[in-house]
Amino acid sequence: MVEFEWDEDKRLSNLEKHKRDFLDARQLFDGRPLFTTINLDHDEVRMISTGIQSYRHLTVIWTVREAKIRIISFRRARDAEERNYRQLHG
User: What does the domain layout of the chain look like in residue ranges?
Assistant: 4-89
- In the predicted model, what is the mean pLDDT of residues 33-59? 96
Q: Which residue has the higher pLDDT, 76 or 42?
A: 76
Tell me, what's the pLDDT at 90?
Answer: 77
Q: What is the pLDDT of residues 55-88, one digit of tens each?
A: 999 999 999 999 999 999 999 999 999 999 999 9
Residue 1: pLDDT band (50, 70, 90) is confident
Three-class SS string for the chain? CCCEECCHHHHHHHHHHHCCCHHHHHHHHCCCCCEEEEECCCCCCEEEEEEEECCEEEEEEEEEECCEEEEEEEEECCHHHHHHHHHHHC
